[in-house]
Structure 1
């Protein structure tokens, strides 16, 4: 256990004179610095421990887990260490740990200060823990911090975002309105609740607008797809940071204006603004949607240069997704193999990409490797491997993986899994089994499933079952000409011209006009696109 030493002037001064901590920018150097502290006896110095906790919890990205390990070994952490850990946890992907730390702090009789409450409130805001946040508000009043500007502004931020706008407004009205922070917090609260008119009114009334205020309004308009209004504010903003640029880029991507997003990215770099992970995730999404491989390679080179080849898991996953959608599965595989760290999404992206591009054997092999490595698959993984089984005609394996999903991993099949199984059986010509499978589904089959089965009946020339599938489709929709054409083609392939005429009459009576140029290849690709890439990465919405 690490113990505080009260008389540490010598070691403390020596540590402060050291510039080693200033060079600590990644996990490797952080561990080296920790080892240096242990070897040189600074591990018992409170000031050295404060620096170590600050570096691992705040300064160095992605090392919060290490901060928790170090903190757990300190027998008597001071209020700075507690606050730093709570702050780092509140900013991390696991903000609930900030609340847990606060509870430990209370249990050990450590008196909180104004910073403690602000950091805990930010965690409650991030988690949308309204009840707990109100409880923390009570603690703020009990300890006499409500009049503190820093704490009051955080309270406004909490209540505006996940508490009560009327309470936030009351706190705001009682505060000094010359302070730009509560103006921004209240404006953000109204904007996030979709009350843009009120938010814009507050924004226009602000005596002083800081960068946060501009970013709040630009982001709000961008999220709603009001890109003209967002662009107007963007152009008017006196200053811009990476958040400002990211809001615009993400807004263009969400609005389907991918070329505009790429142009904004180029402009961002032209003015010398350094992109971050959020920027690159948005740009990769835009490139994937465009399917432009050359642009994708250019973006990859930019990412590689920015991060010196040390690409995060999120960026690696986005690169795999982008290359797969651009049709370059070899590049997707290269990225996957080069990734030092992988998560389930990494495996899902490559397994699904391989399956979609017809590399069924490789897709199934990677799935089996995933299982050997004890990486737990999820519902998306099984969509990818079931599509691979369909492409490879592996009926028995498809049944096995479908049962594995339900029985071993306790994943309830959704409409995509059922659709994949119908496709597997239909492609193999097991049409009666496919009908029986649909009858046993625990959820209502949708039009895509019946259309898939109708297409299989067309391929295998089964008139009777095709008619049954078409009847089910017509109960759901009567205006899709492709459904009629498929049934008509089944009749025609068997020379049953009376049936063709009946289908034509049904179309005429229903006022349905035939679509031009739609083929079974189109229908099949549409099926796969819906099932494979329906669950594309959500990072744009979450990070904008």
Structure 2
């Protein structure tokens, strides 16, 4: 009968002990061969040929039992295996074994151990070993600098550099790159500039690794001219340097620059990575460049790059923010693996498009498959409930977040609940909720109540909420404008004048309303009563034509949205040239019949424009999408996706 296999931590193997002297050398060689092979777990009978466990993580047991003499190569491979797998417990065991061997003072091995600790995030172990090493070289210092930098301990990483210089060691490209990474996460670019100076001193300024880190550091502080200067000075570039520059522009919201650099990167025959695609999709999302985003997506698909969560999540977000929620759902369904960010992106997309029921269905599916929600998840769910008027559901999920998932609400959650109650007309309950908060309400909380007061024309509560906002955030023009609008709707022109005088005296300036459309990669922007566009005459004629047709269908201009003390006729005239109406007329003139029109606006769409565009969608037989600061409105066949609740 075969002897049962001997188990070592779930790894089955059998070796005859003690080993004959002539087999010891062969066994050591086999150990090294196994460490270079993939991990698998196998079981062998006692009669089978002696075999080594294929994980390699417990070969030290075999070394001790077989009285083998370990060598540096074996230790090196073991430590690298532990580093690769993040096996810190096993790494400590290897370290302990080394301390009992003749290599306990070997600097090369110590550096490998230090790198292992730093890479696995065991920074206390790394620092302890660093302090114990009597003779350190540049690799020792660099390993600890990199460890601190990679684990967010910026100040510790930067403090090591002058100490390293004082002992007479010269930094290498890896030291400088790690220091620049730490500098990029710091409070300002001062440290990064000092490291840049040392890069010049040691002739590493044109090194591709140091140069890429410099580009990234300057880009993170929005110093794009400096980033370009370093980038252009690189003798050779790689994907990392291109990615750093593209990502810098993407973070700044410069969609055009990111796309231009992406095309240039392709012309120079550099292969985009997941990070490249993620940055470009992010840039397209911030600018709402749907067609450009589709082109980049097509390139990604053609290149054979898998749709993993890293780039997939930003692609999903790009489609959602650019108005195509169905494309966002298609991406979500094709992701190789979904993480919590994937689910949150889909939930946020549904919420932004006013699809409350779809949001809740998606959330319940997320819970069903076992993905743990976080505070961002619940923010998306609560926002969806607010936009869709799902009062009971919103209150239920707010309690679920606190009681079942033990997530402490923060300001954004409180704002959504005030918004939820306020939109539903429960202004007294919204005020009570604010007064019962466990923390002092912020300006954002009072702004939510102010917005609800404007919606329901509650002048007294609106004035009260506005006063609270003025105390907390006196230079924000939004609350002043809302209060002015509340007074204007109530025809309290004297109070309107007082608010405007307050704004003038305080130096608060109202952001002018504008709308824009993108046609053939060119953005066309419009202001109210805009007469600066080259097609202004055709635009005005087109809107007069549309206006006449929608009036025949029942559209009646809502002059309460004109916030000026003028007669009724002039009010109606002013309504006809709001920026979104001009943008719509322009798009109708310059896009193929039947195509979808996407208009973006920098403030909330007004009630009259909302009504007019509903009628227009039926007249022109097109889907018209308007994205304002709150959400997307999908107008089709005379109705809106928001159900007139926004």
Question: Once the two structures are superposed, what CA deviation does each residue of 1:301-348 show, in whole Å capped at 9, x if it has no partner?
Answer: 22223345x322222212211111111110110111122321111111
How has the CA–CA distance of structure 1 residues 522 and 129 changed in structure 2, closer, same or farther, with 3 Å as cutoff?
Answer: farther
Cα separation, 1, equivalents of 2:299 and 2:279 = 14
Q: Deviations over 1:448-488 (max 9, x none)?
A: 33222222222223233223222322323445555344344
Pairwise CA distance, 1:275: 1.8
Matches of 2:201 and 2:237, distance apart in 1: 21
* 1:245 alignment partner, one of 216, 232, 242: 242
Give the structure 1 partner of residue 51 of structure 2: 44
- Could you say if the C-alpha distance between residues 446 and 165 of structure 1 is closer, same or farther in structure 2, counting changes exceeding 3 Å? closer
- 1:110-125 paired onto structure 2 within 5 Å: 111=101, 114=107, 116-122=109-115, 125=118
Moved over 6 A (4+): 8-18, 35-39, 186-192
Partner of 2:457: 461
* Matched-pair contact (CA < 8 Å) for 2:111–2:139: yes
Match of 2:92 in 1: 103
| Distance in 2 separating the partners of 1:71 and 1:332 | 43
Deviation at 1:135, TM superposition (A): 0.6
Q: Which residue of 2 aligns with 1:281?
A: 278
Pairwise CA distance, 1:509: 4.8
TM-aligned CA distance change 1:116 to 1:359, over 3 Å? farther
Deviation of the 1:156 alpha carbon: 5.9
Name which of 196, 211, 214 aligns with 1:214: 211
Distance in 2 (CA, whole Å) between partners of 1:482 and 1:183 is: 46
Equivalent in 123, 129, 132 of residue 139 of structure 1: 132
Return 5+ residue gaps in structure 1 as ranges: 22-29, 54-69, 90-96, 530-544
Residues 125, 434 of structure 1: CA spacing in aligned structure 2 closer, same or farther, 3 A cutoff? same
> Is 1:449 aligned to 2:449, yes or no?
no
TM-score w.r.t. length of structure 2? 0.65
Does the 8 A contact of 1:8 with 1:45 survive in 2?
no
The root-mean-square deviation of aligned C-alpha atoms, in Å, is: 3.9
Contact 2:385-2:393 within 8 A present in 1 as well: yes
1:313 corresponds to: 309
Match of 1:201 in 2: 197
- The count of residues paired between Structure 1 and Structure 2 equals 481
Q: Rg: which structure is higher?
A: 2
Residues 12 and 41 in structure 2, CA contact (< 8 A), matched pair in contact too: no
C-alpha offsets along residues 129-158 of structure 1, whole Å, 9 cap, x if unaligned? 6644331113332xxxx3556435435656
Distance in 1 of aligned mates of 2:171 and 2:387: 65
Instruction: Answer yes or no: is the 8 Å Cα contact 2:184–2:220 preserved in 1.
Output: no
From the superposition, tell whether residues 414 and 147 of structure 1 become closer, same or farther in structure 2 (CA, over 3 Å): closer
Deviations 1:214-237 (A, max 9, x none): 223222222222222221221221
Deviation, 1:384, is 0.9
Partner of 2:396: 400
**How far does residue 268 in structure 1 lie from its aligned partner after superposition?**
1.6
Normalised TM-score (structure 1): 0.76
Distance 2:502 2:96 in 1: 76
RCO comparison, higher one (Cα < 8 Å, 6+): 1
* Other-structure match for 2:370: 374
Alignment map for 1:51-62 (pairs within 5 Å): none
Cα contact 1:86–1:120 (8 A) shared by 2: no
Match of 2:629 in 1: 526
**Where does structure 2 lack aligned partners over 5 or more consecutive residues?**
1-10, 64-73, 515-602, 608-626, 633-646
Q: Distance in 1 between matches of 2:147 and 2:270?
A: 31
After TM superposition, the structure 1 stretch with the greater mean CA deviation from structure 2, 121-130 or 77-86, is: 121-130
User: What is aligned with 2:5?
Assistant: none
1:474 is matched with which residue?
470
Separation in 2, partners of 1:42, 1:210: 52
Larger CA deviation: 213-222 vs 403-412: 213-222
Q: Report what 1:429 is aligned to.
A: 425
For residues 31-430 of structure 1, what are the structure 2 equivalents within 5 Å? 34=40, 44-45=51-52, 49=54, 71=57, 75-76=61-62, 78-89=74-85, 97=86, 99-107=88-96, 111=101, 114=107, 116-122=109-115, 125=118, 131-141=124-134, 146-147=135-136, 150-151=139-140, 153-155=142-144, 157=146, 163=156, 167-172=160-165, 174=167, 177=170, 194-207=190-203, 210-307=207-304, 310-430=306-426
Partners of 1:392 and 1:166 in 2: CA distance:
52
CA distance in 1, matches of 2:286, 2:50: 51
| Partner in structure 1 of residue 500 of structure 2 | 507
CA gap of 1:408–1:157, structure 2 versus 1, over 3 A, is closer
Contact 1:463–1:490 (Cα < 8 Å) also in 2: yes
Higher percent of residues as strand: 2
Partner Cα distance (2:368, 2:185) in 1: 44
Q: 1:185 to 1:174 in 2, by over 3 A?
A: farther
Determine the C-alpha separation between the residues in 1 that align with 2:137 and 2:493: 80
Partners in 2 of 1:166 and 1:474 — Cα distance?
Answer: 43
Moved more, 481-490 or 317-326: 481-490
Quote the Cα distance in structure 2 between the aligned partners of 1:122 and 1:192.
Answer: 21
- Partner secondary structure for residue 163 of structure 1: helix
**Alpha-carbon offset, residue 425 of structure 1:** 0.8
Determine the C-alpha separation between the residues in 2 that align with 1:378 and 1:487.
35
